[in-house]
Amino acid sequence: MPRPLLDPRNDFVFKRIFARDPKLLADLINAVRGDAAPPVEVVEILNPGIEPAELGGKFIVLDVLARDASGRLCNVEMQMRRHAGWNARSAYYLARLLAGQLNGGEDYTRLRPVIGIHLLDFTLFDDPAQAHWCFELRDRRQPRTLLGEELQLNVLELPKADRLLAAGGSVLADWVTWFEHWQEDERMSHITHEPILQAQDYLSALSAKDEERRLAFVRERAMRDEKTELKLAREEGLQAGLSAILLRQLERRFGPLPESLRERVARAGETELLAWSDRVLDAGSLDDVFRD
């Protein structure tokens, strides 16, 4: 009996598939960029390997960095979770790829454009009618005027794209279907685009190997641990903020507080803190606030 297929949205699995085949990577890049953009012909994958430390590292993205026939750099990422500072981090990394091309004394004419392709398995923008975005340096008043081609960031929100592009019949729609429905035989049976069928074959071969399954699990566990840590940090930050506000309210109403009460507030959970904050508005004494 065939083993369940690994998730191609796992960035370890994604990189294993697309870092092995420049033509396959180019097809995905060109599908995201669209017919209006000059096609990319990938000639070299610059970071095909995956270091063991990367699989369990915090806040590490396993991207694929490639160079095309004209010297442009293409950075392709799959991301399954949204985190604070995502926008700034993406712009910073692309800018570093651009600036990192020059050594001391070299002139700016040696710079080649940097193209970002970021596939997101989450919703980044509130607009429900658009899932496909292309950010460039353009004039605000005359957006048809482009400053230059040095930086371009293409963002595809997969969950929205799955809904918006389903009936489009485009290569991009087929790629989205593969990323979102790779295990559904009925959905996959309608796809005839050869590079996607090849990607599915690569995925099947990868999924059959015990070591690859183990490494994919290691990566999944690291991302899950990171998500849990971020959630706990947000909750702790929220509780600390609620505690500080409640203590300030209590002091304004009732004057200096005993240390035992301060410790009780510091140990309290979110539910208790919210209940006490409601009571402090009408309570006649500290006992009224902290009654059971």
pLDDT in tens, 232-256: 656 666 677 778 887 887 887 788 8
- If asked whether residues 285 and 154 sit together in one domain, one would say no
- If asked whether residues 201 and 276 sit together in one domain, one would say no
Domain ranges, residue 203: 11-208
114 neighbors 150 (Cβ within 8 angstroms): yes
Residue 108 lies in a domain: yes
From the CB of residue 216, how many other CB atoms can be counted at a distance below 10 Å? Answer: 21
Residues paired with 154 in a beta bridge: 117, 134
Q: How confident is the model over 56-64, as a mean pLDDT?
A: 74
- If asked whether residues 245 and 131 sit together in one domain, one would say no
Residue 69 lies in a domain: yes
- If asked whether residues 201 and 239 sit together in one domain, one would say no
Q: How confident is the model over 82-106, as a mean pLDDT?
A: 85
Residue 220 lies in a domain: no
**Rounded to whole angstroms, how far apart are CA atoms 6 and 210?**
11
Query: Which band of pLDDT confidence, cut at 50, 70 and 90, is reported for residue 36?
Result: confident
Residue 217 lies in a domain: no
Whether residue 277 has pLDDT greater than 90: no
The structure tokens listed for 259 are 């240390």
Per the structure, how many domains does the chain have? 2
- If asked whether residues 203 and 239 sit together in one domain, one would say no
Last residue of a domain, one of 208, 227, 254: 208
Backbone conformation region of residue 259, classed left if phi is above 0, alpha if psi is from -120 to 50, else beta: alpha
Mean per-residue pLDDT of the chain: 87
Q: How confident is the model over 192-200, as a mean pLDDT?
A: 96
Residue 81: predicted pLDDT: 79
Query: Which band of pLDDT confidence, cut at 50, 70 and 90, is reported for residue 24?
Result: very high
